[in-house]
Amino acid sequence: MTPASPMPEVIAIDGPAASGKSSVARAVAQKLGWTFVNTGNMYRAVTWAVLDTGIDPSDPAAITAALDRMGIDFKTEDGETSVCIGGKTLHAELTEDRVNKAVSLVASVPAVRQKLVAGQRALTRLGSLVMEGRDIGSVVFPHSRFKFYVDASEEVRTARRQAQGHVDQISARDRMDSSRKTSPLVTAPDAIVIDSSHLSLAEVIDRVLADLATRGLTPPTA
Ligand code: DC
């Protein structure tokens, strides 16, 4: 008889814009063989759809009314999820300047959050996940045993975005993301905080893996 499959686990990696959390989460997922989920891309995809259909991103009622017609779907490729809108998988569109500008507004609409959070929770059907975002440890999976908050100074984060060639209103987005009414960016009380301002990506990944190891979670040996 095959043993019952263990309950899927979720590692929550939250933090502000350009803190490096996505790269850390992807690397940790690859090490463990778990699925990587970038929830920022989900909010970006909805924002792209809002803009693409000519909806005013500052009109929550219009966004709410259009949400179910957008055909939001997730698919998994190479160990990570990507977002489709009406059957189209979005990549470069997600970091367009207009999306960077409008995403915090769209992400503050309660109906958008409800729909995406439900989708995020349902992804445990894929097995264990490493999920990055703003509210993963506080709202989406508050019972997760593994929560990290990756931070970095505003100067370092702005420089990282510039190095990626993107124009991004980091501080304006942080302000909006931290002050919105529904699931603002907060540090979950039981999260391990890592300030990555003076650490390399490899060092942050090592810290996360070292902490997981102290709690009995180690990558499978090849
Ligand atoms: O991580 P990012 O910069 O790609 O996220 C884009 C925006 O999406 C961010 O400004 C806030 C929003 N977001 C959110 O509200 N909740 C999440 N779990 C992830 C992102």
Q: What confidence tier does 163 reach under pLDDT thresholds 50, 70, 90? A: confident
Q: Residue with the nearest Cα to atom 6 of ligand 1? A: 40
CA distance 69 to 113: 16
**Which tokens belong to 162?**
């510039």
CB-neighbour burial class of residue 148 (10 A; exposed 0-12, middle 13-18, buried 19+) = buried
Domain assignment present for 116: yes
User: What is the C-alpha separation between 23 and 9, in angstroms, rounded?
Assistant: 20
Pocket test for ligand 1, best of 19, 39, 160 (most atoms within 8 A of CB): 39
Cα 162 to chain centroid distance, Å, stands at 20
Q: pLDDT tens-digit profile of 120-153?
A: 999 999 999 999 999 999 999 999 999 999 999 9
Residue 4 lies in a domain: no
Q: Do 1 and 96 contact (CB within 8 A), yes or no?
A: no
Pocket test for ligand 1, best of 41, 43, 151 (most atoms within 8 A of CB): 43
Give residue ranges with CB within 6 A of ligand 1. Answer: 17, 39-40, 43-44, 103-104, 107, 133-135, 173, 177
Q: Provide the residue type at 1 as one letter.
A: M
pTM confidence score: 0.94
Q: Is the pLDDT of residue 167 over 80?
A: no
Confidence class for position 221, pLDDT limits 50, 70, 90: confident
Number of Cβ within a 10 Å radius of residue 39: 25
Cα 133 to ligand 1 centroid, rounded to whole Å: 6
Cβ-proximal residues to 30 (8 Å cutoff; 6+ apart), any chain: 36, 79
- 221, part of any domain: no
pLDDT at 168 over 80: no
Query: Number of structural domains, the chain?
Result: 1
Res 222: pLDDT: 59
The pLDDT mean for the chain works out to 93
Higher-confidence residue of 177 and 35: namely 35
Ligand 1 centroid from CA 39, angstroms: 7
Atom of ligand 1 nearest to the CA of 173: 10
pLDDT of residue 215: 94
Q: Kindly tell me the burial class for residue 176, based on how many C-beta atoms sit within 10 Å of its own C-beta (0-12, 13-18, 19 or more).
A: middle
Which residue range forms the structural domain that includes residue 165? 10-214
Specify if 125 maps to a domain.
yes
Confidence of residue 1 (pLDDT cuts 50, 70, 90): very low
pLDDT at 208: 98
Which CATH number do you get for residue 209?
A: 3.40.50.300
Q: Say whether pLDDT at 93 is over 90.
A: yes
Q: Whose CA is nearest to atom 10 of ligand 1?
A: 104
In a domain, 220, yes or no: no
Looking at residue 125, its pLDDT comes to 96
Structure tokens at 65: 């009314």
Question: Would 71 be classed as within a structural domain?
Answer: yes
Residue 164: pLDDT band (50, 70, 90) is confident
2 is a domain residue: no
Residue 172: name the closest of 219, 104, 121, 108 by CA: 104
Q: Distance (Å, rounded) from C-alpha 63 to C-alpha 50? A: 7
Question: Does 101 fall in a domain?
Answer: yes
Task: Give the model's pLDDT for residue 166.
Answer: 76
Between helix 201-214 and helix 21-32 the angle, nearest 10°, is: 50
